[in-house]
Amino acid sequence: MPPPTDDPSPMRLERWLNRLSTMVMPLALLVVVLLFLQWPLRDGWGTGSSQANDLAQILFALYVAVALRHADRRGAHLVSRPDLTHTGHGVVRALRLLGAPLAVLPWALFVCINALPTVWRSVQGLESFPETANPGYFLIKAALLLLALLISLQALTDLWRAVHTLRTTPAEHP
């Protein structure tokens, strides 16, 4: 049971992030359908397979940007939860407390700073797919910034929760 909170705003942010994840999850099925349709579109109608592929790429990029945050939050991402079964509770708590400000937030900030000029040029020019000239490639680049933003917001809520837990939990005695 989560501890009572004086400032519920980070929890509202986390609920919003979880709702966003729930809304985006069906995109995975749409990606599968679009990729499946490439064959009949190419061989049956002779057209539309590249558009289906490009749309699937856009939807997949957006899906991944949201799903990685969700997987990390649930501890389901391959790199999000190292095996700490033989580690003391205090060490695990310290790793969770320090992980967000020392690893996740700086890396997400680095990605945002370095990718922003490229993404901005792509969005301004409404960059198309290089192979097909179909519009929308800029959305794939924008998904990178979305991913960094969502990971940052999740790290901030995790940090808030960890600090709040430290403040409200009595000190452990040996």
Q: What global pTM score does this model have?
A: 0.74
- Cβ-proximal residues to 81 (8 Å cutoff; 6+ apart), any chain: 75
The token pair that represents 166 in the structure block: 């430290």
pLDDT at 156: 84
Identify the CA nearest to 66 among candidates 16, 10, 119. 16
Q: pLDDT per residue over 132-174, tens digit each?
A: 999 999 999 999 999 999 988 888 887 777 777 767 766 554 5
Q: pLDDT per residue over 54-75, tens digit each?
A: 999 999 999 999 888 877 666 5
* CA separation for the pair 163, 58 (Å, rounded): 37
